Structure formats: C-alpha cells, structure tokens
Amino acid sequence: MEKNFEALIASYIENKVGISEHFLSDELANNLKQNLFSLNKQSFLKEAGTGNSEAVAYDSAVRSDSIYWLDKKHNNEFENEFFKQIEDFIRYLNQSCYTGITGYEFHYSLYEKGDFYLRHFDQFQNNSSRKFSMISYLNSNWQPEDGGELMIHQDNNNQKISPVQGKTVFFKSDELLHEVLLTNTTRMSITGWLKCD
C-alpha cells in the first residue's frame, strides 16, 4: 500500500491534488459498492445537506446526492477494512509529512442520473477541523459520456477528474474550490475528511 500512499502524497505536493489510481482494490471497491446498494435498497441513504450539525441546510439546487455515514459501530467487515486502510494512510502521512491528523469521517455518496453538487469548499466557516478531503470512487464501468466528474478549480489550471473505481483523490479541505458535474448515470463514492480535532 505504501506505493499508493506515495502516489497520493507526491501528486498532492506537485499539483495540490493527490491522485492514486488504485488506492482501493477491485475486491474492496466491489464489496463496498454492494454494501452501498444494500443500504440504499433499505432506504438508509438520506438527502445530503450543506453545512454541519450546527447549521445544516438542504437545497437540491445546490446539492442533490444522498449519503450514509460510515461508522465502526456498524461492524461491517468491508467498511472496517476501508477504515484500516485509511488509518494506515494517516499513520504514513503523519510520519512522512508531520500533518498531525488525529481523526477522520467518511460517508457513502450516491448520485443518480441528473444529480450534481455546485462549487464549494469542504471546510466549515464555524469549524476548521477538516484538514484534507478524500474521495474514493466505486464506478467500475465509468465512461466519459457518463459525466459526474470532479471538477477542481485552480487559477488557470482547472482539473476534471473521472470517478473511476479504485481511484482516490486527496486535497486540502480549505484550499480548493470544487464541484461534482452533472451525472448521466449512477455515480458512487466514499467521501470524507482527515481531521485535527
């Protein structure tokens, strides 16, 4: 896994956007995807809002995906495998880059056809604990015409990232304005943040 960890860190240092094409194995990505499908079938996914628990807003003109928070208390073997990988990455990141990350939070994110998320930063105005954003994709047969790319806005260097299964993207939560472009098919990911609480 260190090769994938290094890929994230090296590309982040070079371009402020870390990308590892195979951060998640196909086996883990497929198991997480099946878990997401099962949760959605049971109506556990809920409308996503903007803001945090102190000031949350729901506006489908800004964001139209649905989410489900991952939690070790669920004792799901595949979510726990994902958590272990994240914890290994945090340990590697802290040792190599002295980032001081102390925690994390992640949720499943499901975009159906026609869904999107307009430009935004990931850090709250009333809480600066989110330091790095991470998105891991679960879309095995993604094609360019499917849409749903992550668009990251930088001065004279906008970057459009395809949500291909196994790929993980990593960037500072308060630094880069980004959006999820209109998707033309079902689009799945695990999205979250590395935190200093």
Q: What is the pLDDT of residues 146-156, one digit of tens each?
A: 999 999 998 87
Query: What pLDDT is recorded for position 37?
Result: 96
Query: What pLDDT is recorded for position 54?
Result: 57
Q: Is 82 helix (H, G, I), strand (E, B) or coil?
A: helix
Over residues 19-43, mean pLDDT: 97
Q: How open is the CA angle 57-187-109, to the nearest 5 degrees? A: 40
Give the range among 68-77, 116-125, 130-139, 166-175 with minimum mean pLDDT: 116-125
Give the range among 31-35, 36-40, 51-55, 184-188 with minimum mean pLDDT: 51-55
Arithmetic mean of pLDDT over the chain? 92
Asked if 180 contacts 146 with a C-beta cutoff of 8 angstroms, the reply is no
Task: Using the predicted structure, report yes or no on whether residue 52 has a pLDDT greater than 80.
Answer: no
Q: What is the pLDDT of residues 122-138, one digit of tens each?
A: 766 556 789 999 999 99
In the sheet that holds 130-137, the strands lie side by side as 18-20, 168-172, 130-137, 187-195, 103-111, 66-69, 46-47
Query: What pLDDT is recorded for position 61?
Result: 78
Of the chain, the percentage scoring pLDDT greater than 90 comes to: 79
Predicted confidence band at 194 (pLDDT cuts at 50, 70, 90)? Answer: very high
Burial class (CB in 10 A: 0-12, 13-18, 19+), 38: exposed
Pick 1 or 162 by higher pLDDT.
162
Asked if 114 contacts 183 with a C-beta cutoff of 8 angstroms, the reply is yes
Query: What pLDDT is recorded for position 121?
Result: 86
Query: What pLDDT is recorded for position 122?
Result: 78
Over residues 35-60, mean pLDDT: 81
Task: Using the predicted structure, report yes or no on whether residue 53 has a pLDDT greater than 70.
Answer: no
Query: What pLDDT is recorded for position 118?
Result: 93
